[in-house]
Amino acid sequence: MLPYQEVRKVRKLHEKIIESLLAFSGGVTILTTLGIIWVLFSESFGFFSQVSFWDFLTDTEWTPLFTQKHYGILPLLSGTFIVTFISILVALPLGLSIAIYLSDYAPRKFRLKVKPLLEVLAAVPTVVYGFFALTVVTPFLQLIIPGLGSFNALSAGIVMGIMIIPMG
């Protein structure tokens, strides 16, 4: 057999192995997704057999660990929307200002140094941002707003706004 034909056979074998591994990986991904969907639906049926769907959507309390259990999703949704709104109020003007300055006014050397630093913000884990909000931002805000609680939407919104600046 010619060396060229041997090389082609080896390449075809390698390609078949790679195709098989990719097909296996794709199958694992699909099965994992189907498993997640199955668990979500099966657990949801068990949950909604004990809690009415209407109470879940309209109850204004989320107290699953109390003696009198309530599973209303409205407080969770409203908290999410409040934190999202605050983070947009922080990120939009700050991110736009930074982007306009860096693209139009900043000297080239400054831009080359600052842009990668901003992109590093995207690599910081969200847990670190949460810890920063709880240990640094909240005590600072409590100095300005004395009655502010430890777990509040304002500090979460501010830090989340800082967190999403590199995405804009």
Check whether residue 135 and residue 82 sit in a common domain: yes
Question: In 3D, which of 156, 160, 157, 165 has the Cα closest to residue 118?
Answer: 165
Check whether residue 41 and residue 85 sit in a common domain: no
Structural domain count of the chain: 2
Band of residue 82 on the pLDDT scale cut at 50, 70, 90? very high
- Encode pLDDT of 33-54 as tens digits: 999 999 999 999 989 998 889 9
Domain that holds residue 46: 3-50
Confidence (pLDDT) at 2: 61
Residue 3 has pLDDT above 90, yes or no: no
Check whether residue 20 and residue 79 sit in a common domain: no
- Domain annotation covers residue 130: yes
Residue partners of 153: CB distance under 8 A and separation at least 6: 79, 82, 83, 86
Please report, rounded to a whole number, the percentage of residues in the chain having pLDDT higher than 90. Answer: 56
Confidence (pLDDT) at 1: 56
- Domain annotation covers residue 68: no
State the DSSP code for 127.
H
- Domain annotation covers residue 65: no
Check whether residue 12 and residue 84 sit in a common domain: no
- Domain annotation covers residue 56: no
Band of residue 165 on the pLDDT scale cut at 50, 70, 90? confident
pTM of the model: 0.70
- Domain annotation covers residue 61: no
Residue 166 has pLDDT above 80, yes or no: no
Check whether residue 20 and residue 82 sit in a common domain: no
- Domain annotation covers residue 147: yes
Residue 153 has pLDDT above 60, yes or no: yes
Check whether residue 83 and residue 131 sit in a common domain: yes
Per-residue CA distances from 159 to 25, 71, 92, 95, 162 (Å)? 37, 28, 13, 13, 5
Rg value, the chain, Cα:
26
- Tokens of residue 72, six digits: 């209303």
